[in-house]
């Protein structure tokens, strides 16, 4: 089975699949989260712009697209943790990780950002 080619913007169905949500559950919220990550991804990976067409279009590779899907999924899950606390499991409470190394690597953020001048 071949993976579908990345498209832009992030498809809500891809976010839903990553979250393992049934079809129809929180459709509006998943769509909103999928749309919200676009500008951040484009800022993080400006190297994915294709300026050879008019108007220029953003063309993520598979790594960038998967990072965007994961970021949208994290944004969706964040709605349950307004204070930074994820749902508890029994007596244990888990906090939302501030950074996600897989997303940062895919989007070249944080420790994985490219050196820049200016």
31-86 confidence digits (pLDDT tens): 999 999 999 899 888 999 999 999 999 999 999 999 999 999 988 887 776 655 55
Residue 118 lies in a domain: no
User: Which pLDDT value is given to residue 106?
Assistant: 73
Measured between alpha carbons, how far is 51 from 48 in angstroms, rounded to an integer? 9
6-22 confidence digits (pLDDT tens): 678 999 999 999 999 99
4 has a pLDDT exceeding 90? no
DSSP helix/strand/coil, 78: helix
Residue 98 lies in a domain: yes
Q: How many domains does the chain have?
A: 1
Measured between alpha carbons, how far is 94 from 19 in angstroms, rounded to an integer? 18
Residue 106 lies in a domain: yes
Closest CA to 3 of 108, 14, 45, 12: 14
Domain region containing 60:
12-112
Q: Kindly report the number of other CB atoms within 10 A of residue 51's CB atom.
A: 8
Residue 3 lies in a domain: no
Residue 2 lies in a domain: no
Query: Residue 88: pLDDT band by 50, 70, 90 thresholds?
Result: low
% pLDDT > 70, the chain: 78
């Amino acid at each position: 089975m071949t993976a579908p080619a990345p498209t832009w913007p992030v498809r809500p169905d891809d976010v839903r699949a990553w979250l393992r949500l049934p079809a129809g559950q929180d459709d509006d919220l998943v769509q909103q989260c999928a749309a919200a990550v676009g500008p951040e991804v484009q800022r993080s990976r400006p190297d994915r712009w294709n300026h050879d067409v008019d108007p220029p279009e953003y063309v993520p590779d598979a790594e960038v697209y998967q990072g965007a899907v994961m970021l949208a999924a994290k944004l969706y899950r964040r709605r349950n943790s307004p204070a930074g606390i994820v749902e508890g499991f029994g007596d244990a409470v888990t906090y939302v990780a501030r950074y996600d190394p897989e997303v940062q690597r895919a989007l070249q953020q944080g420790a994985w950002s490219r050196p820049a001048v200016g």
